[in-house]
Amino acid sequence: MKTLAALKGYKTAQFDYTGTLATKLNLQRREGKHCDATLIHGKRKFPVHSAVLCATSDYFSSLLNGRFLEGRQKDIDVTKSFPNAESLETVLGYIYTGGLYIHDGNFEDLLESAHLIMLHDAVKLIAEYLADSLVLDNCIEIFTLSSKFDIKELVYLSSHIINARLHDYLFYNDREKLYSLTPDLIKNISQGFSHLAAEEIISFLKKYLFNLLEDKGQHSKSLLSSCKSMLLSFKDHGPDPNGTENQVSTFCDSLIDIISGELIDEKPLKVSERLCSKIGEMGQENTSICGHNKGFEKTILI
């Protein structure tokens, strides 16, 4: 007897089987049908099929396969793991269908959620969205976000814009955003400061370090180590045009000595207080900063 495949005129049926299956499973999820677990975020409950979640996410696989307490429970509270219920719903929709709705109001929460549950393809989609949205006005925010989640290509693209336009735009228009960066991030864009005058760089570093260290709760040896690394990156500013001693290098050396010298054995708080005191001594005189793109002179008292 001939098999069906050998019969004349036999054709294999062609249709989007996986797409149809995913759509039906997602519909069942939304209707709470045939679900064997429930994710809880605040007051909202999300019925799910554990097999679907485990097949697509290593995070959920570890959570639901019984190795943790949650794996032996049907109701799992994920309130502390996800920024909000909306991002959880969107991520679940992606797990079931492969579609991800990204917009300006949710990309940060989605990125945090996708990174947490190790949805690498979703992270790539969000990174592509951010790369397409990258402009001068948001490059610092995207640089911060991509650095936090180690999206290397996006870090490169955003830092390239910052380094290219820091000296003639960002330094004068978005300086408060620069003050909000961590020492490690400032270090990564220190090249962009190289076209600024020494006085401008020193004034920025004074205020930046003073603001960072005056918060008593932030002091730690790791923070001070990051400050030292940042200051070392600024020592490459180069000699002043008039041939005088490199003011930036001298300034950085004076603070690096406090961090790396004998005081490093003291409590971090003590070292930070010495740094703030030193910066205060350096800031007794006004530092004039010319706002080249604005056409006027700014005077900042540190």
**CA–CA separation, 23 and 55 (whole Å):** 16
Q: Which of 107, 106, 146 is nearest to 126 (CA)?
A: 107
Average pLDDT for runs of 10 along the chain of length 302: 48 60 89 91 94 90 66 76 94 92 94 93 95 95 96 96 94 94 95 90 91 69 88 73 67 86 62 76 48 34 32
User: In CATH, which of 3.30.710.10, 3.30.70.60, 1.50.10.20, 3.40.50.1820 is domain 17-133?
Assistant: 3.30.710.10
112 within 8 A of 63, measured Cβ to Cβ: no
**CA–CA separation, 104 and 27 (whole Å):** 27
Gyration radius from the chain CA atoms = 27
β-strand partners of 76: 39
- Say what the pLDDT of residue 16 is: 63
**CA–CA separation, 160 and 66 (whole Å):** 46
Residues of the chain with CATH 3.30.710.10: 17-133
- Say what the pLDDT of residue 269 is: 67
- Say what the pLDDT of residue 272 is: 73
Length of the chain: 302
Angle, in degrees to the nearest 10, between helices 139-148 and 120-133: 160
- Say what the pLDDT of residue 61 is: 85
- Say what the pLDDT of residue 106 is: 93
Question: How are beta strands 296-300 and 75-77 bridged, if at all?
Answer: unpaired
Residues 6+ apart with CB under 8 A from 296: none
Query: Rounded to 5 degrees, what are φ and ψ at 106?
Result: -130, -5
- Say what the pLDDT of residue 286 is: 40
